[in-house]
Each structure stands twice: as C-alpha cells, then as structure tokens.
Amino acid sequence: MSTASAPGKFILFGEHAVVYGKPAIAMAIDMRTEVGVERSSSFTLDRRPLGENRSYYIREIMRRWNGGPLDIEIYSRVPPSSGLGSSAALTVAMLGALRSLESVAEKERIAREAFDVEYTVQGGASPTDTSTSTLGGAVFISEKKEDNFRWSVEKKGKIWNIHSIDVPEMSFVVGITGARSSTKDMVEKVGRVVKRSPFGRDVIEEIGKLVEEGRRALKRGDFVRIGELMNENHELLSLLGASCKELDSLITPIKDKVYGAKLTGAGGGGSIIALTDEPERVARKIEQKGGRAHIVSVDRKGLALDDAE
C-alpha cells in the first residue's frame, strides 16, 4: 500500500483581500489527513464501493486516474466545513499516495494538480490551501516573487507566487462555531461591498498593508504585534461583512486571555483562531461558549509520503 498524509491549514492574515491581488499568509497545522491506496480488482473506499462515496474531490481525482482499480482508505483529523483546509488536505494526500504509487511524487507537481482539482470542483479557487498543505510551515502568497520563492501558479490570467517563510514555535487554539457558510457566497458578498463602495476598496488596501507588517512581526517573533494585527484583521473583515454573531461569540470572551484572535477563511461561520500562551484555558472558554476547541501548532512537514518526507 502507498500512503501519504497532508496537513490542514488556517489563514493567519489576508483572507478576502488575496482575491484582489493582495498578499496573504497561511499556516499548516498539526491536524492531518492520511490516505492509503493499493491496487485491487475493484474500486473501494474504506471497504465500500467507491460509487457510494459523496466526496466531489475524490470523484474528480478518480476521473483523472487511469491506473486501474484501487482500494482507498482515508483517515482525517481535519474537521470538514470549518475553514481549516479539509478538502486541500484530502486532495494533496490522495494525489501524494497516487503519485507515490507511480514513483513520481514531486511536491510542486502535486500542489499544482491539487489546486486544479479544487478549482474544478469549487468552480474557482486560489492555490493558497493546496500549496500550504503540500509545503507545510508558513506560506506567503504574493503577486511578486520574493525571497524563499517556491513556485508560481497561474489560472485564467491570475498569477500567485508561493513562498515559504520562517515562523517561530507558536500555540494556537482553533474554535469551531459549527455554523456553516458557503465560501463562494461569502466571496460574492464581500465582492459586492468592494465593487460598490470606495470604503470597501480602502479596507482591502488596509488588509494588504497589514499582511506585510504581519510578515515582519513573524520574522521578529513578536507575538504581541502579531496578536494586535490579528485583532485588526478581524475588525477589517467585519467591516466587509465577513464576520457573524457565531464567530464574535467565541472571540469576545477570550480577548483578555490571548495575544489576538480572528476569523479564518471566508467567514460567515466556520472557525476562529487565537494566539495564546494559555491554550488549555482558552480552549475551555471556547467550549463553555458552545464552540469546539482544538489546540494546534505549526505543521512543518507538509506532504509526507509513507510516513517520511
């Protein structure tokens, strides 16, 4: 059996603004999805006929696969529909296992393929999640090529330059609201604000500047400033209509216990992230307020094949 695993992720700074060409910073987290594949006489997923599987991502990958029937096994610790990159982790791990089976598992190729799968399934996407899941650590996405450049991805006239950046050891708590929202709908909602209002465009500019300052704070290991910028980023996203009562109900009670906290991903539901020296205390508070809490740290491995780099 060929096995591969890949991490989930969160966006530390820059969601929504990245749609308009501004930079963003994402981090892989130590919640992983593992996929095993083995040649077989028929297609199965977790010992059931593959046709019963409802994952559009697996279906799209299998639509492109011409290597014969497979037994597929999946185990995931990345909560679905929570803004933590569950589909990217699944897609990257699945492609990693398949390419390992063919002895052609090269990270850049897998990241590009995974992005193309997500783009097809979602009807549009950025390579942020799939590149972060593949590389691990922290990733800086920009229109420009800068230090620690890894690769470029282009789609329909848009270009994303992917960079690795060094970050210190940090403890985060993820708080999952349980409220679901559509990424597509939230992107369209924010898009209407940006299109119709000079104020909305100014907010996007401010988020872009904030991301650059956040990168400098990460390089210094300045947790206080990182937290301040997380708070500012959340307020700016709120002005664009990306937050909601469920997200704010988890952020407000922990403000005095964290460096900073913000929504992560498209918003309208999903998850918050909090940077803190007291992760257990913060996790308990989030759960007292009805959220599901996970203490996470930065995953520096990215895509791992057969339990090894």
Residues 29-82 pLDDT 10s = 999 999 999 999 999 988 888 877 678 899 899 999 998 999 999 999 998 888
For residues 68, 85, 303 and 141, what is the CA-based torsion angle, rounded to 10 degrees? Answer: 120
Backbone φ and ψ for 103, nearest 5 degrees, come out as 60, 35
Query: What are the helix (H) ranges across the chain?
Result: 56-64, 86-101, 107-122, 128-135, 183-196, 198-220, 223-239, 245-251, 279-288
Among candidate residues 183, 137, 186, 142, the one with its CA nearest the CA of residue 26: 137
CA distance 120 to 123: 5
Q: Which DSSP string corresponds to 23-76?
A: -EEEEEEEEEEEEEEEE-SS-EETTEEGGG---HHHHHHHHH--S--EEEEEEE
CA dihedral of residues 170, 77, 280, 293 (deg, nearest 10): 110
Catalytic residues: 129
> Which pLDDT belongs to residue 107?
92
How far apart CA 39 and CA 36 sit, in angstroms, is 10
Residue 56: predicted pLDDT: 87
pTM value? 0.91
Among candidate residues 299, 242, 228, 301, the one with its CA nearest the CA of residue 272: 242
Whether the CB-CB separation of 90 and 117 falls below 8 Å is answered with: no
Model pLDDT, residue 291? 95
CA torsion sign, 145 to 143 to 160 to 14? positive
Q: Which domains are present in the chain?
A: 2-167 (3.30.230.10), 171-297 (3.30.70.890)
DSSP letter at 303 equals S
Residue-level pLDDT at 307 = 44
State which H helix or E strand residue 102 sits in. Answer: none
Which residue ranges of the chain lie beneath pLDDT 50? 307-309
Identify the pLDDT of residue 244.
94
| Phi, then psi, of 133 in degrees rounded to 5 | -65, -35
Lookup: tokens for 262: 């913000």
The Cα–Cα gap between 269 and 158 comes to 28
- pLDDT for 83 equals 85
Look at residue 297 in the predicted model and tell me its pLDDT. Answer: 94
Task: Supply the pLDDT for residue 38.
Answer: 93
pLDDT at site 49: 87
Neighbours of 73 (CB within 10 A): 17
Cα–Cα dist 161/163, whole Å: 7
Q: What is the pLDDT of residue 308?
A: 39
